[in-house]
Copies of this chain bind each other. A is one copy, B any other.
Amino acid sequence: MEKDLTTEGRILTAARSIFQQKGLAGARMQEIADEAGINKALLHYYFRSKDKLFERILEEAIGKFLPELFGVWEGEGNILEKIERFVHRYISFVAENPYVPSLILHELTINPEKAGMIRKMGFKPPKDKMMMEVMLGVQAGLIRPVHPMDLILNIISMCVFPVLARNMIQGVMLIDDLTYQEMIETRKKSVADFVIQSLRP
């Protein structure tokens, strides 16, 4: 527990928690103030408005989410090794921060213009690098020919969706919490296997 942060820090922690749970429209400034153990007026003293505070949280979430998503591609190893590492690391990250992609997803769905924020943050996705890596793997005979973007989308989908849609899936499939958690854990390996099996030449 971080009791003795600065006031600004406590506000940000509280705002993160509430916005992640309820989204922008569903969150209440009073709730954030309560969670931070301070007064509503102080929120406006530190951050001018609810929108400004939210934008700060969303930026922070994106700033955490994207590097994690693409960092692996910068490392060592061939395409198969990178896929294995990516899947493991990414499922771990999403499982530990389940609300991060959820928040980004919902707010960008409601308000697509906010996607512009990504570019403003100076973030450049290593799309070309990823494409290239896949094509090199094909040429080296490591993997069968696939469309790089399809492959990337498939991998990300299988990593993120089961965590993102956890409540929905559990509700539909009638799976209890513990079982589901174990399944996510198992998937760190099984998803990588699933992809690698598919890529056999």
What is the oligomeric copy number?
2
**Does A132 reach chain B (CB closer than 8 Å)?**
no
> In the complex, which residue of chain B has the Cβ closest to the Cβ of A153?
B162
> In the complex, which residue of chain B has the Cβ closest to the Cβ of A144?
B197
Which residues of B are found within 8 Å of A66, using beta-carbon distances?
A: 172
Q: Say whether A127 contacts B173, CB under 8 Å.
A: yes
**Does A25 reach chain B (CB closer than 8 Å)?**
yes
In which size bucket is the chain A interface? 35 or more
Complex CA distance for A87 and B102, rounded to whole angstroms: 24
Interface residues of A (CB under 8 A from B): 21-26, 66, 69, 102, 104-106, 108-110, 112, 115-116, 118-119, 125, 127, 144, 146-147, 149-151, 153-154, 156-158, 160-162, 164-174, 183, 186-187, 190-191, 194-195, 197-200
